[in-house]
Every structure is written in C-alpha cells, then in structure tokens.
Amino acid sequence: MNKEALHKVSIRGTILYPTDTVWGLGCDATDEVAVENIFKIKQRSECKSLIVLVNSIEMLQQYVTSVPKAALEILEKATRPTTIVYPNSIGLAKNVVAADNTVAIRIVKQEFCENLIKEFGKPIVSTSANISGEPTPKSFEEISQAILDSVDYVVDLHHDSKNDKSSRILKINTDGTIEVIRD
C-alpha cells in the first residue's frame, strides 16, 4: 500500500491514480473541501456529478439508505466496471451528491484502489484526469501537465498501461426500471 497516497487523501489532498477504468483524480468523498478542490482542478461546474468508489458492498451500504435488489443482481453479474446511481446518500460530501439527491457509486475491483480504500476506510472520488471538456486520457502519458501540476500526489503505478474504457453507468429508477446513462 502506498502510504503517501493514503496520507494525501486523508488531509484533504488530491491524488492522481490508476483506477479500474481510466486514470482518475481522487480525494476523500466525505470531505466537501477536498471535493471542491477536484472541481477546481478539473475546471468543472459543481452542478455536474462525480463518481465515488467503494471497495465492497458492505461499504456501499454505509453510504446509501438502501441498495435495491436489482443493483445487487447487476453487480453480481457485471463483467466490466459498473457504476450505479443510487438515491439518498448518507455521510458523503454534499458536492458529490447530484441535485436530485442521487450519487453515482462503483465498487472497484482493482487491487490498488481496493487497498487504498480499505486502508483509508472511506470512499474516494473518481473522475477522469482531464480538464473538463478535454478528451479523457487513455494513458498516463496523455495526462496534461496542468493536471499533473495541480494534484497533491501522483501515484507511481501503471504508468505504461492504456485503458480507454470508462465505466458503464446505470440508474435504477424507483419503479425498478434500469436506465443506461453511459454504456
């Protein structure tokens, strides 16, 4: 486990790190000031939502009022990173919660992220490592210098890997229907 990354997240810091999808900007998802820093780095309006990463269903259940059965079924069968939009979050920073009181959460299945979240003990933000409106970088080498200079810590892992897939995002509506937000 990278103790310096863990320390930066725990002190309202921002990190640039490899996720189970693309390189991400992250911070403590329960700290409004830390989340605000992510919006500033991305030059993104706070009215746009961010994704939150957790490392288990148990952690997920601590941050939403209920996990629909349909969500559990989707997560059990998922063969690729899948983010689900849940209503009524608990204990997350207000600025990671959308205007309609929903939050996008993904249970990560990648060793570094799983360990970081486990050691930190709280969810972390995950948003692509680019300035809002610019292309999502597919590899570390495509991350702009502006992003590299803006974060408090850059994780020194997987700099050679490429990944051009963002997570699939699904929303389970109150009537039980499933809406595909991003495939």
- All structural domains of the chain, each given as residue ranges with its CATH number in brackets, are 3-182 (3.90.870.10)
- Size of the chain, expressed as the number of residues it contains: 183
pLDDT tens column, 88-107: 899 999 999 998 889 999 99
Specify which residues 84 forms β-bridges with: 105, 170
Q: For residue 123, give the nearest of 46, 19, 41 by alpha carbon.
A: 19
Question: Which range, of 6-20, 72-86, 166-180, averages the lowest pLDDT?
Answer: 6-20
pLDDT on residue 75: 92
Q: What is the overall mean pLDDT for the chain?
A: 90
pLDDT on residue 1: 53
Structure tokens at 133: 């409106």
Q: What is the mean pLDDT of the segment spanning 2-24?
A: 81
Q: What is the mean pLDDT of the segment spanning 36-53?
A: 91
pLDDT on residue 2: 64
pLDDT on residue 171: 94
More confident residue, 1 or 121: 121
Q: What is the mean pLDDT of the segment spanning 147-161?
A: 85
pLDDT on residue 156: 86
pLDDT on residue 166: 80
pLDDT on residue 31: 95
Alpha helix (H) residue ranges in 14-167: 32-42, 57-63, 69-77, 111-120, 145-150
* pLDDT of 29 over the 60 cut: yes
Nearest 5°: phi and psi at 128? -55, 150
* pLDDT of 30 over the 70 cut: yes
pLDDT on residue 163: 67
- Confidence label for 8 from pLDDT (cuts 50, 70 and 90): low
